[in-house]
Structure 1
Amino acid sequence: LVKILDRYGKQHADDRKALDLQSKDLKYGSHHELLELVESKLVESNSDVSVDSLVQLEDHLETALSVTRARKTELLLKLVDSLKEKEKLLKEENQGLASQMEKNNLAGAEADKMEMSPGQISEIIRPVTLPLLY
């Protein structure tokens, strides 16, 4: 129970962090706009840039990077889940085919055991006639 509560607490903290990052991302605009802002700051002369603006710019970049990493992780986890599901389906199909092959092999072995002598075959093939009325 303690482990479950710890996992829940960690998951809840991660979810809150992800929500905070998403809200910051919406606040700062698109990543493209952020990149353009950085480029414009770099083009400007260094004397016009304040430490506060650089710190703010760094925060924006860290947030954008965190959101990008979170999205990439989410996509990779979805891919892993889908591949695990596909693996499970293929294993089930493989087991079904293996059991079908086993049944076919058993049926073939039974047919081999039931080889008939020519006399037995003629008894099966011989037509049955009805007695004639006199």
Structure 2
Amino acid sequence: MGRGRVQLRRIENNISRQVTFSKRRTGLLKKAHEISVLCDVEVALIVFSNKGKLFEFSSNSSMERILDRYEQKLYAERKLASSSSESQANMSLECSKLTSTIEALKRNLRQFQGEELDTLSLRDLQLLEQQIGNSLKRIRTRKNKLMHESISLLQKRERTLQDQNNMLAKKLKENEQTPTEHAQHEVQNHVSSSSVQPPATMQFPSLTIGGSYEAMEGTNKEAQLNLNLVPIL
């Protein structure tokens, strides 16, 4: 038959308790050595008997080195836990502050819209009215500024379009007057050339006086002969 489960409780008999302690201590030290060798880990074991006697085991030659490493690790974990808890507390506080601020802003917005005014005193209502008046002034100032800027831009565009229109009208007028002036210029040139240069077919009379007189005398003699030859009826 198998061994039954042993109930763990304090052994009342001193001798039996001391024997059990010696056996279990030896087995515990053996197991610590085995796990350090098999798994390549650092193991430190400290046991105090009920009479205050110290029994220890370390996987290397220095128990202090393992204890220092343990203290450093424990301190780092405690510090991290402390900073984490402190950070969480700060985040909770900040979250509550932001929630309160959001609620206050929502309440102010509703009051600006004319809601939830019953809880406000006369002084609060006057202050709210003053704030709304100042806001309206700033809104009107901004609106007027934008309107003036828009009007100035439209006027500038209008002047630009007017200048372009005048320029186009001037060019169109110049294009209409150019053919007429060109024709008038040609006519003037033609008249000037006609008045200055004589025609090519024009002949001037001969200036020989003697020759002209002899020709006239011959003509008179021929006419007289013709008169003499007329028969008398």
Output the TM-score relative to the length of structure 2. 0.31
Q: Which residue number in structure 2 is paired with residue 36 of structure 1?
A: 109
Partner AA of 2:115 in structure 1: L
- Give unmatched runs, 5+ long, in structure 2: 1-104, 188-233
**Mapped partners of 2:163, 2:170: distance in 1:** 11
CA deviations over 1:66-106 (Å, ceiling 9, x no partner): 00000000000001111111111111111110110010000
User: Relative to structure 1, is the Cα distance of residues 94 and 64 closer, same or farther in structure 2, using a 3 angstrom cutoff?
Assistant: same
Q: Structure 1 residue 39: deviation in Å? A: 5.0
How many pairs are equivalent?
A: 83
Q: Which residue number in structure 2 is paired with residue 8 of structure 1?
A: none
| Correspondent of 1:69 among 111, 127, 140 | 140
Could you say which structure has the greater relative contact order, defined with CA pairs below 8 angstroms and 6 or more residues apart? 1
**Mapped partners of 1:41, 1:80: distance in 2:** 35
User: Relative to structure 1, is the Cα distance of residues 84 and 41 closer, same or farther in structure 2, using a 3 angstrom cutoff?
Assistant: closer
**Mapped partners of 2:174, 2:167: distance in 1:** 11
Q: Structure 1 residue 109: deviation in Å? A: 2.6
3-state DSSP of counterpart to 2:124: helix
Partner AA of 1:90 in structure 2: L
User: Relative to structure 1, is the Cα distance of residues 79 and 115 closer, same or farther in structure 2, using a 3 angstrom cutoff?
Assistant: same
Q: Which residue number in structure 2 is paired with residue 97 of structure 1?
A: 168
Q: Structure 1 residue 113: deviation in Å? A: 5.2
Matches within 5 A, 1:89-128: 89-111=160-182
* Worse-matched range after superposition: 33-42 or 58-67: 33-42
- Give unmatched runs, 5+ long, in structure 1: 1-31, 117-134
3-state DSSP of counterpart to 1:38: helix
Q: Structure 1 residue 38: deviation in Å? A: 1.6
RMSD value, Cα? 2.9
More helix by share: 1
Percent of residue pairs identical? 22
